[in-house]
Each structure stands twice: as C-alpha cells, then as structure tokens.
A and B are shown apart, each in its own frame.
Chain A
Amino acid sequence: MAVHDSAAPLTLRAPRRRYSEDIVRIVLLMAAFVSVVTTFAIIISLLRPAIEFFTEISPWEFFAGTTWTPLFLEGEFGVVPLLVGTLVITFWACLVAIPCGLGTAIFLSEYANPRVRAVLKPVLEVLAGIPTIVYGYFALTFFTPFLRDIGVQVEIFNVLAAGLVMGVMLIPLVASLSEDAMFAVPNELRDGGYALGATRRQVATRIVVPAATSGIVASFVLAISRGIGETMIVLIAAGQLAQISADPRVSLETMTAFIGATAQGDVPTGSIEYKTIFAVGLALFVITLAMNIVSIRLVRRFREVYE
C-alpha cells in the first residue's frame, strides 16, 4: 500500500482553517459590488437634482409643455420639443437601420457562403466600432453638402443627415443580433421547407424570420434604444434648435444634445438650468432602461424556445 507523506494518524480534517478561501470570496464579492454601486450612483445622481427641479417646475409643465427655452431669462421648460427631436431623428435612423440591418442579417444567415461571411462579418464589426464622433463629422461635413448637391434643401444642421447617418451606425447592431437569432433556428425547420419545394426566399421569409421573431424584434428595440441615447452624431449634425417640426430638413434638438451642450457651458451648480440637465437625463435614463428591459426579455423568451 502506498505510504502517505505524513506519519500522523488519519483524521481527514483540514490542517488549518482555509482562511484564504473565505478572503478570496469576499474580495471577489466586493468587486462585483462595484456594479451595484454604479447603478445606485446613477440613480441617485439623477434623482436628487431632478426632484429638486420638479419642486420648482411642475411635472405637467415639463412633460406637456411645447416650448423649451430653459436658458432664457424667463425660461420655459416644456420638454416636448426635445422628445420630438429625439424620436424624429431616431425614426429616420430606424428607417435605414431596420430594413438594411435585417436584410444584411438574412443575407449572412441564409444566402452567404462561408468566404463571404468571413469577409463581411469583420467589416460589420469595423462599422460598429467607428466612434460616433466620426459619424458626426461625416454627417456634417460630407452628407449634408451631399444632400444639398442632390437637391434636398437641408439647413446646415438638419435631422435628415443626422438621422440617416445614425441609421448606418445602427445597421451592424440590428444585423448581428438578428443574425444570431436566425442562426439559432434549427436546420430541421429549413430542411422541412426545402423538402416541400420552397425557394430560398420563401424559406428565409416564411420560416426562418418568423421563427426568429422575438430575437429580431429585440434587436430592433435595442437599436431604437441606442438611437435615443446617442449624443455625438446629433450634437454635431442636428443642431440645437428646440422646436417641434416634422420637416427633416430643419434642425431639431434631442435630449442628449441638450444635455451635452448645456454641460459644456458655464452653468452654476444648483441653478435651475443646472437641474434641467438631470431632469432631462432622468427622462432619458428611464426611457432607455425600459426599452433595454423589453429587449432583454424578448431575447430570453427567444432563447427559451430554442435551447
């Protein structure tokens, strides 16, 4: 029988209490706690000044008012123009991102051969990795003059350039998430369709896409959320004119552009102007949080079906 190194009687007890194991666990838990602290910090940093804001400005005036001039001497604090700006620009972005993103996803998933995929996927990654300020530069200095050249009378700062360029920025997001969803659809479903004599188009549009619906919709929701929260493209290319208009050729101000522009200025801490940053920030946070939760739920529901 093999002899154990120690000559001590057998007890099977640990030689001494393994404190290092407990210490490791506590240290790792503390690190994980940082993320919790971050969330609370975000919420508190938004809530406190926002609540103070709403004691001075009634929520009704804020949410229903249609004039936004907070920095004027006799300021008006109706946030509707900012909301309109955000939603209109995001709308134009989705007009590009959703069809092209979904189309790219269908192409990658159902049509492209491995060599094309090997080239296209990295290219999409590059597109996704370009900093938004570069997109902003592009929208202002190339796309707006381009629109004018082809006869669209846009102002220097306009919704169309910002929205469409933002849409291109969002294409990789929609494409990769939708493609993941379609990839998860089992091949048996496709084979069933082909076996019945369906064409590739029919299999893609009538079998695969419906089967991947919740994942695809999740990608749309996430893209909208990203568009709503995007700052630099709109700050540079859409301008700071807080108005309500459906005309894409004019300038509109989004919530994010307002926050970004105001913070750069000399706004005294504790003033009402300072607090508007947080009130609008809170509205922005709540909207994007709600959309992200919806998106996560959709993805989870999708995974449950196929895993």
Chain B
Amino acid sequence: MTISNPIHLAEPMVERSSGRRDAIFKVRELEVTYSSKAAVRGITLDIAPNEVTAIIGPSGCGKSTFIRCFNRMNDLIPGAEVKGELLYHGLDLYGPRVDAVEVRKRIGMVFQKPNPFPKSIYDNVAFGPRVLGRKDDLDGRVERALQQAALWDEVKHRLKASALSLSGGQQQRLCIARCLAVQPDVILMDEPASALDPIATTRIEDLMQELKQSYAIVIVTHNMQQAARVADMTAFFSVDIADEGERTGILVEFDRTDKIFTQPSDQRTEDYVTGRFG
C-alpha cells in the first residue's frame, strides 16, 4: 500500500475529472452549512453518466447532506445554505433563476426508508407524471416504469391494491418505479437498501446495474461491500474535527472503486476500507 504524498493528492483527482467532458455533474468546492455550522466543505468531484458513483464513509460525515444538494432537497430545510459550484450539464444548479421544482423533475431520489404514498400502486407511479402534466398514455408510463424497476410482473394484476400492502423490498422498487416514471436522467439513492433484508438488497443492487445503462446513479451507502459490488466510482468522505469540536464532512479520496479498495492513495481511506475504523 502506498502512503500518499499530500502534495500529489489534489492534482490527480482534478486531472481525472477535467478529462470527463461528458460529466453530468461537476462539483467544485461545495459547502453546505446549517445555521452557520458547516456540514460539508470543500467537495470537488465529477459524476459521469451511465455509471454508479458511490459515496461511502463513517456516519456523520455529511454523505446524505451532500447527495441532497444534487436535487435541491436541502432547500426544504430552514437555515440551510449551499456555497460553491454545482454544475448540471454545465448549468449552475443554484443559479439565480433556477427553479428547484424543475431540477427535481430531472434528478430523482430514492430514500433510505421506502416511503410509498398511502395510495394504490398505480397512483403511486402515476403521481409524478400527473403533477408534471404528462397525462398522456398514463397506463403506458406506469407499466414501463414498473418494468424498468423489475416490479411489473409481481404487481401487474393488482395495480389498484394499496402500496402499503407490498413487502419492504417491493415498496422500495415501487419508489424506484415512481422515480423512473418522471423520466429523469439521474437517480440519487440515499442508502436505498439499508432498511431491507439481504435478498431484497441483492435485487436492488442488480437493478442498479441495469439502470445505469440509461441513467447516472449516485448512491450513498454505509455498506462498503455494497459499494465494492455495485459502484464504478467511489468517493470516500470523512469527518474533519475542528479545535472547538465542530465536525465537518470532507472528501478524502475519489477514484475508481477497485483502486479505492485495493490501492487507496490516502491513509485514511485505507484505514476505513480495511476496517480499522468507522
């Protein structure tokens, strides 16, 4: 294992990312503060399409805060401020006239605990198209989304049943279908399988491999093995503790998954992936 030379740490990352001119997201020095306390700071990386990018790290290092920047869900938290640059197809996501609702139409999110609406399976998937005014061929949209989420065969004969009657794993796939029905080009997943049993988890992970052919996927996970299984690129976050005890999340290393897990450049990364801490 090579011990990193601090001077070389920043440059290789930037070089690698600036070479990706087709990156969907370009993040530069992103910082998120809640009521003047910085939750994450100095994040710089690129997200590429047709790939799974995983964010790993110990708890409390701002992974969820970071991922919620991509679809402006932090707007919903009073006192939250986002600084730095976050470009989506070259557009500043936090630009002056950018509408958060438009952002969320293109960047979908699946949550840690499945949160189906207390409505029928059909109405759950149809909700997105309906509020977006895309009511044409609603049946077709619902079916395609459910097929993409590998749920269609299991529910096609009971679309009017309540979504809450599904199992945990099915509910999560329903949430994915709901997200797909809006036809985003990015899917954010905040620990999507942590509330599910191992079999359901495997199905979600297989689904990710299928979906990445059409979407960019960013997944937060506290399960290193999961990241090693599904992700093409992995970002390792850690916590920087200031003198006053203030904890801020920082990006330690961002690289191809196999490199992160076999030849990490930073000692902290190595410590984490070998289980020495976290």
Interface residues of A (CB under 8 A from B): 1-5, 10-15, 18
Give Cα A14 to B49, complex, Å: 25
Count how many pairs of residues, one from A and one from B, have CB atoms less than 8 Å apart in the complex.
38
Q: Is the interface of B mostly helix, strand, loop or mixed?
A: loop
Q: In chain B, what residue has the closest Cβ to A4? A: B183
Beta-carbon contact of A5 and B134 below 8 Å: yes
B120 CB-CB contact with A under 8 Å? no
Beta-carbon contact of B97 and A13 below 8 Å: yes
Number of interface residues of B (CB under 8 A): 21
Beta-carbon contact of A12 and B215 below 8 Å: no
Give Cα A4 to B103, complex, Å: 12
Beta-carbon contact of B183 and A5 below 8 Å: yes
- Pick from B88, B99, B134 the residue with the most CB of A within 10 Å: B99
Give Cα A12 to B215, complex, Å: 19
With A12-B99, A12-B102 given, can you name 14 additional A-B contacts, CB distance below 8 Å? Answer: A1-B49, A1-B50, A1-B185, A1-B214, A4-B183, A4-B185, A10-B91, A11-B91, A12-B88, A12-B93, A12-B106, A13-B98, A13-B99, A14-B102
Give Cα A222 to B205, complex, Å: 58
Residues of B close to A13: CB separation below 8 A: 97-99, 102
Beta-carbon contact of A2 and B88 below 8 Å: no
Cβ distance A18 to chain B, nearest Cβ, rounded Å: 8
Residues of A close to B245: CB separation below 8 A: none
B9 CB-CB contact with A under 8 Å? no
B19 CB-CB contact with A under 8 Å? no
Residues of A close to B99: CB separation below 8 A: 12-14
B211-226: contact bitstring with A at CB < 8 Å (1 yes, 0 no)?
0001110000000000
Residues of A close to B89: CB separation below 8 A: 10
Cβ distance A96 to chain B, nearest Cβ, rounded Å: 45
Give Cα A279 to B161, complex, Å: 62
B184 CB-CB contact with A under 8 Å? yes
B10 CB-CB contact with A under 8 Å? no
